[in-house]
């Protein structure tokens, strides 16, 4: 799969609801919301390995995962992906184009975060609000890949899926994205390709880091309301992890502002924006939620105007949903590196 050369910034958030019955649907909805908002904050399941089938069945392998063991094709050709955009992005990064994916939004076939990175070709957009078992059956998949978050909330729907094709559940991206990407790749026998992609990430980091001034600091926040501003004070989310890899220090960090939320985050109000003392301020926002107005209202506060970044014109807005999967991390290195190297 060839990456696209250009990349729009906006994306659309969605929730994937899987399962049958009201209780299962509600549970899956809540779980998928958490997966979408902060993949790294969701609980991950036990590790998963891929090994050759001990029975010697031609053309198959046994994959151990959170649901147990599944006998899967050695080289799956008809994959259906039931998960968020990181899953679709990681499939494409491994050279696997699924038949269909649930990483779709209400007004677009696929979210901007994926379509800005890859040409999705003939990938069919499955419903992100209702399970369509008839459609999945009609696709005749030879493997259904999903996340532990979705699988654990499928209820009776899991059995229905397993009747259609082997189902493998992979962990949601967590603190060690490298290990989890390798696990994901092992399901498809794509370990070598995964190492190539990870090497690309390391190379991009080294190249960008060389152009970033030593000692540069940044404050990272998301403004949802003048009385609710989320501040990222420690690693635990994709873009902050990339910043740390680039050698950019967070200001405030967890010592100055203890994390009170998952994924290294805390919260403040507009009356506390003076805590954002970094050389730069990066605002992780989303056009999908029409957050521009509330951002403008906070930036108009007299206290905001005293911030070093505000006075030097170093406030940058970055789409917090625009960098899914490992390919997204590579693009994030380029986007964020350009900010600190003076490229934005």
**Nearest-angstrom CA–CA distance, 189 and 61:** 9
The least confident of 22-31, 57-66, 83-92, 326-335 is 22-31
Q: Is 16 within a domain?
A: no
CB atoms inside a 10 Å sphere around CB 339: 20
Is residue 13 one of the residues assigned to a domain?
Answer: no
313-336: string of b/e by CB count within 10 Å (b at 16+)?
A: ebbbbbbbbbbbbbbbbbbbbebb
Reported confidence tier of residue 107, pLDDT bands at 50, 70, 90 = low
Q: Are residues 155 and 226 in the same domain?
A: no
pLDDT attached to residue 284: 97
pLDDT, tens digit, for every residue of 269-285?
A: 999 999 999 999 999 99
Q: Does any domain span residue 161?
A: yes
Quote the pLDDT of residue 152: 83
Q: Do 272 and 141 reside in the same domain of the chain?
A: no
Q: Which of 189, 213, 233 lies at the terminal end of a domain, its last residue?
A: 189
First to last CA, the chain: 29
- The pLDDT confidence band at residue 57, using thresholds 50, 70 and 90, is confident
**HEC secondary structure over the chain:** CCECCCCCCCCCCCCCCCCCCHHHHHHHHHHHHHHHHCHHHCCCCCCCEEEECCCCCCCEEEEEECCEEEEEECCCCCEEEECCHHHHHHHHHCCCCCCEECCCCCCCCCCHHHHCCECCCCCEECCCCCCCHHHHHHHCCCEEEEEHHHHCCCCHHHHHHHHHCCEEEECCCCCCHHHHHHHHHHHCCCHHHHHHHHHHHHHHHHHHHCCCCCCCEEEEEEEEECCEEEEECCCCCHHHHHHHHCCCEECCCCCCCCCCECCCEEEECHHHHHHCCCCEEEEEECHHHCCHHHHHHHHCCHHHHCCHHHHHCCEEEEECCCCCHHHHHHHHHHHHHHHHCCCC
Judgement on whether residues 138 and 286 belong to the same structural domain of the protein: no
Q: Are residues 76 and 130 in the same domain?
A: yes
> In angstroms, how far is CA 262 from the centroid of its own chain?
15
In this prediction, residues 106-127 reach a mean pLDDT of: 76
Does residue 286 sit within a domain? yes
Would you say 241 and 250 are in contact if contact means Cβ atoms under 8 Å apart? no
pLDDT for 46 beyond 70 = no
| pLDDT for 115 | 78
Tell me, yes or no, whether 198 lies in a domain.
Answer: no
Confidence (pTM): 0.83
Q: What is the pLDDT of residues 233-282, one digit of tens each?
A: 999 999 999 999 999 999 999 999 999 999 999 999 999 999 999 999 99
Same domain, 292 and 336: yes
Q: Is residue 2 part of a domain?
A: no
Q: How many residues does the chain have?
A: 344
249 & 281 share domain = yes
Look at residue 105 and tell me if it is in a domain. Answer: yes
The mean pLDDT value for 149-173 works out to 88
**45: pLDDT confidence band, cut at 50, 70 and 90?**
very low
Confidence check: pLDDT of 173 > 90: no
- For residue 199, tell me if it sits in a domain: no
**Rounded Cα distance, 88 and 173, in Å:** 13
Which of 159, 189, 219 is the last residue in one of the domains?
A: 189
Residues 185 and 210 grouped into a single domain:
no
Q: Are both 154 and 289 inside the same structural domain?
A: no
Note whether 144 and 281 are same-domain residues. no
Q: Which of 147, 165, 189 is the last residue of a domain?
A: 189
pLDDT of residue 73: 93
Q: Could you tell me if 125 and 223 lie in one domain?
A: no
170 and 81 in a single domain? The answer is: yes
pLDDT of residue 105: 63
Alpha carbon 103 to chain centroid distance?
11
Whether pLDDT at 166 is above 50: yes
Please tell me the distance from the alpha carbon of residue 144 to that of residue 81, in angstroms, as a whole number.
Answer: 6
Q: Which residue shows structure tokens 């029409």?
A: 290
More confident residue, 6 or 103: 103
Domain extent, residue 65, equals 22-189
> What's the pLDDT tens digit per position in 70-106?
999 999 999 999 988 899 999 999 999 999 998 876 5
94 lies in the same domain as 242: no
What is the reported pLDDT for 250?
Answer: 98
Higher-pLDDT residue of 19 and 179 is: 179
- CATH number for the domain that contains residue 181: 3.40.50.1980
- The tally of domains found in the chain comes to 2
């Amino acid at each position: 799969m060839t990456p696209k050369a250009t990349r729009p910034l906006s994306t659309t958030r969605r929730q994937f609801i899987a399962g049958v019955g009201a209780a299962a649907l509600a549970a899956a909805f809540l779980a998928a919301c958490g997966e979408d908002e902060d993949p790294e904050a969701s609980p991950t399941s036990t590790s998963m390995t891929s090994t050759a089938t001990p029975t010697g069945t031609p053309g198959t392998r046994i994959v151990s995962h959170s649901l147990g063991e599944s006998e899967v094709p050695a080289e799956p050709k008809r994959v259906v992906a039931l998960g968020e955009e990181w899953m679709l992005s990681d499939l494409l990064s491994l050279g696997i184009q699924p038949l269909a994916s649930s990483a779709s939004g209400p007004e677009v076939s696929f979210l901007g975060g994926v379509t800005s990175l890859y040409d999705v070709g003939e990938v069919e957009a499955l419903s992100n609000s209702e399970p369509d078992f008839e459609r999945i059956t009609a696709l005749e998949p030879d493997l259904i890949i999903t996340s532990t978050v979705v699988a654990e909330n499928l209820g009776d729907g899991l059995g229905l899926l397993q009747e259609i094709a082997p189902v493998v559940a992979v962990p949601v991206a967590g603190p060690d994205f490298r290990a989890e990407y390798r696990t994901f790749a092992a399901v498809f026998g794509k370990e070598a390709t995964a190492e190539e992609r990870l090497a690309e990430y390391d190379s991009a980091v080294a190249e960008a880091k060389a152009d970033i001034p030593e000692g540069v600091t940044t404050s990272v926040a998301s403004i949802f309301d003048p009385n609710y501003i989320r501040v990222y004070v420690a690693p635990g989310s994709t873009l902050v992890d990339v910043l740390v890899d680039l050698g950019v220090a967070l200001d405030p960090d967890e010592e100055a502002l203890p994390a009170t939320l998952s994924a290294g985050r805390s919260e403040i109000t507009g009356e506390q924006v003076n805590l954002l003392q970094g050389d730069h301020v990066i605002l992780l926002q989303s056009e999908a939620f029409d957050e521009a107005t509330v951002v403008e209202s906070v930036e108009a506060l007299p206290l905001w105007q005293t911030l070093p970044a505000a006075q030097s014109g170093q406030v940058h807005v970055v789409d917090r949903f625009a960098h899914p999967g490992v390919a997204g991390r590579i693009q994030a290195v380029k986007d964020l590196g350009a900010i600190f190297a003076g490229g934005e």
